Amino acid sequence: MTQEQTKKCPFCAEEIKADAIVCRYCQRDLSGDLSGAVAVNKTSKKIKKHFINSTILFVSGCVLFFSGIISFFENRNDGMSMIRIMLGSVIGIVGMIWLLAVIIKNYWDRG
């Protein structure tokens, strides 16, 4: 397909045929009003970014928490294991709340 025969979908930015009525990737209708397509695309990218960041924060908090638990039960009570447990708990809880907020917002925005 040449460049003249294709266009980018305004919703998912994938390359599709120029005369397409429905995007083959995101299944969105391209025949109606497309004025909100750019805003939807930017919002979905923002939510995706927040989802990735909150997941990384949650997972790192869990790793820190469980490394503290493991070192605590291996009788290495040097004080660092309790710090890891407390810090991991706080980071994990903040990440989990952020992750849940992103998921709920995404669900709420979809209607």
Q: Answer yes or no: do 42 and 22 share one domain.
A: no
- Work out the average pLDDT over 65-88: 78
Do 59 and 85 share a structural domain? yes
Which residue, chain included where needed, has tokens 């004080």?
Answer: 79
Same domain, 102 and 87: yes
Give pLDDT, residue 8. Answer: 84
Domain count for the chain: 2
What is the rounded average pLDDT of the residues 55-78?
80
- The predicted-structure confidence for 49-59, as pLDDT tens digits, reads as follows 888 888 888 88
Reported pTM: 0.51
pLDDT digits (tens, 9 = 90+) for 1-45: 455 688 888 777 788 888 888 888 888 878 766 555 555 556 677
Do 60 and 12 fall into the same domain? Answer: no
Domain region containing 2: 1-34
Do residues 94 and 52 both lie within one domain?
Answer: yes
Is residue 61 left, alpha or beta, with left meaning phi > 0 and alpha meaning psi from -120 to 50?
Answer: alpha
Which pLDDT score is estimated for 68? 80
